[in-house]
Structure 1
């Protein structure tokens, strides 16, 4: 079905017409419908209007970082299999065009899932037919391994993209760590997020291969003051002191790469650290409530620090109990992760819960897929994690099994731009 100039009607626009609308199209109103579609799809929204709405794709920063955290995640890391720089650039251009379409509720390609040549594979896999955009955001990052000799990028690697050190207690699995590229798909509908990653992988066939992917649910951080603080799988509120999109001054200081930080292609970008953290759920579930609260340093019900009455009360690390010991223990998570323990360093966290079935021994393979954005991991994530891995009482109940570090470039300005253009020009 075509509109003005042979353009195809959006598959989601078509499903949104309803029976009466389809009858009108059949009666000869395809042109008017296409014009309406073009106006709707090329007018930027002010923001995600609801869980089903769209988030603008173009802007100075990539969406999916300060965007209010959606409910679902599909994260994928890719290995680049081509050794040709022009093929990698072409892929990034095609990915960007597809991402711009899908985040606005359109098919990944021009002819969609059911159009085009019936003897050729469709331009879209089709599982999102009829679904709204669902707040989909797609955020890309470039891993440390991309900056080797293959594409002539070694001299353009940012100093902040330094390999993370080994931390005490790490049990990292190589096959689910690292990656040349990553794409973070967040949405309120898991099928929309899966559809997005699936289509990027399809477009990249022969040039990239999926190294690993991770599904997540139940966001574990709030990235806006309009959101309530969620809970992790241990039952505690997580990310109370997270950076929020409303914290404009702190975002400039702790989130966005600035001129002079490194190569100018990263100005306005950010650095993403990922860590898959498995929780020993069954052991944790047998721990007494008092022990659980002492480990976190918070009240499990209210989320308040043990020295306060409400979630957002500032913890009083100097306060002691009748026994003369600190009310918030020296090895508690809230104390060791607090900015005051790291010269004020802060992170913007966008983690998600995961449950990947069981491990064959009757134990849940579950935990937290940690994601944190920052201006410089060397002065933010690394010192924080060094302290946590050495002293945190929570370590008895968790294990870090994967790790990744990615440079996420600034946003795509318009339809003539593409992800990482400044890196390759």
Structure 2
């Protein structure tokens, strides 16, 4: 599990060469010493490139290691903001070109996660007669807990029966388009993709800057297919975090797999070395679903009915069978009239592992509000993200939710699945084992 910088470590104004913020880097560029400073930081192999105070908020700014046994942004404590993007690889790109893109993305992402610009020249250090190497909107901002996670879609391996990159035989057997689920109203422009990048941070500008610059690096090699901004995480991935609320106003992700539950993470999240294919060991499968919430209808539902549909108290998050938020639901408990305290069609009951063969997932979803539709309703909802050892875990639970009473207020409009390679070691690029 990746860990944030410890409080009290040197900040961006300390003398240590192992702490280089974007603001310091800008000053170094002006002094003509940027290359030396960056080289010193990289040579030290530091995991934290910028900690200390954000000039605008005074909040601590953590930086998570980019390299490790697993990619960051999975069990990392969920940040507050998201920019998720998928890409289609150019039909003119060959295998070497794809590897080159992944190398360039890896190099840039490793720098961005440290709170640096995408290259040493950056936004202002290059020629006055050439476009800057970095777009510059994150100058002066700390790393803000940025994590960048890469994934490979089914069409990267084979599209229309064509093995574009000579990797079709290495496609994981489980990496196929998700089946159609009851209630799906999928929009083709909000699904699929050869590649995906998940950028999470505690500053929206930092997350957007990452996707913007990685998209720019891909120009001519891969084009943006669709993307999604998210705010207000809807799940906790660490026991150190409080349970957040979704746009229905309920606590979400109470029973989520937590990073500290290492045995459960190993069982339910990471692809094991004994699984197939071997190149995906240490990785995971990512499911992305854009779920529109019909919140105007929901807002007219009585509190008691809302709680019955969810199966939890709206205030405390406790199951309706009693106790506190983290009390295990008692699905056998009955009320005075002999009816179950937790409705059999409630979301909590249908999604619970006991009714799904023990299936669990690690969720990292986010709220979204993308303006309004033609009827004046908010285009708002949940951008659902889950990581699991096998896509079958998600499929099993989603099929159970076909009877969910909440479906009256939900519409699934976007869907995608990706294989997320294992961690990246220094000197490697993401997915290197796939091309070995």
**Same-fold status (TM-score > 0.5):** yes
**Is 1:62 the equivalent of 2:71?**
yes
- Partner SS state of residue 291, structure 2: strand
Query: In 2 relative to 1, CA 47–223 (structure 1 residues): closer, same or farther, beyond 3 Å?
Result: farther
Q: Which residue of 2 aligns with 1:286?
A: 300
Deviation at 1:44, TM superposition (A): 2.4
Taking the aligned partners of 2:83 and 2:359, their CA distance within structure 1 comes to 28
Mapped contact 2:177–2:417 kept (Cα < 8 A)? yes
Q: Deviations over 1:142-163 (max 9, x none)?
A: 0011111111111101122132
**Is 1:337 the equivalent of 2:346?**
no
Q: How does 1:21-420 map to 2 (within 5 A)?
A: 38-41=39-42, 42-45=44-47, 51-81=60-90, 82-148=92-158, 149-378=163-392, 380-388=393-401, 390-414=402-426, 416-420=427-431
Provide the aligned length of Structure 1 versus Structure 2. Answer: 404
Query: In 2 relative to 1, CA 233–51 (structure 1 residues): closer, same or farther, beyond 3 Å?
Result: farther
Mapped contact 1:303–1:310 kept (Cα < 8 A)? yes
**TM-score when scaled to structure 1?**
0.91
- Partner SS state of residue 175, structure 1: helix
Q: Which residue of 1 aligns with 2:16?
A: none
Q: Which runs of 5+ in 2 are unaligned?
A: 1-19, 52-58
Mapped contact 1:140–1:182 kept (Cα < 8 A)? yes
Query: In 2 relative to 1, CA 47–271 (structure 1 residues): closer, same or farther, beyond 3 Å?
Result: farther
Mapped contact 2:49–2:114 kept (Cα < 8 A)? no
Taking the aligned partners of 1:10 and 1:393, their CA distance within structure 2 comes to 49
Deviation at 1:35, TM superposition (A): 5.4
Q: Deviations over 1:229-285 (max 9, x none)?
A: 000000000000000110111111111001231111100000000000000000000
Query: In 2 relative to 1, CA 109–398 (structure 1 residues): closer, same or farther, beyond 3 Å?
Result: same
Mapped contact 2:22–2:141 kept (Cα < 8 A)? no
Deviation at 1:308, TM superposition (A): 1.6
**TM-score when scaled to structure 2?**
0.89
Mapped contact 1:13–1:37 kept (Cα < 8 A)? no
Deviation at 1:325, TM superposition (A): 1.1
Deviation at 1:362, TM superposition (A): 1.2
Mapped contact 2:21–2:140 kept (Cα < 8 A)? no
Query: In 2 relative to 1, CA 242–115 (structure 1 residues): closer, same or farther, beyond 3 Å?
Result: same
- Partner SS state of residue 366, structure 1: strand
Mapped contact 2:50–2:143 kept (Cα < 8 A)? no
Taking the aligned partners of 2:104 and 2:367, their CA distance within structure 1 comes to 31
Mapped contact 2:50–2:115 kept (Cα < 8 A)? no
Taking the aligned partners of 2:239 and 2:48, their CA distance within structure 1 comes to 18
Deviation at 1:392, TM superposition (A): 0.3
Instruction: Show structure 1 runs of 4+ deviating over 6 A.
Output: 46-50
Deviation at 1:105, TM superposition (A): 0.7
Q: Deviations over 1:184-229 (max 9, x none)?
A: 0000000000000000000000010100000000000000000000
Deviation at 1:164, TM superposition (A): 1.1
Deviation at 1:118, TM superposition (A): 1.4
Mapped contact 1:73–1:215 kept (Cα < 8 A)? yes
Q: Which runs of 5+ in 1 are unaligned?
A: 1-8
- Partner SS state of residue 223, structure 1: coil
**Structure 1 range deviating more: 133-142 or 161-170:** 161-170
Query: In 2 relative to 1, CA 296–48 (structure 1 residues): closer, same or farther, beyond 3 Å?
Result: farther
Taking the aligned partners of 1:275 and 1:47, their CA distance within structure 2 comes to 33
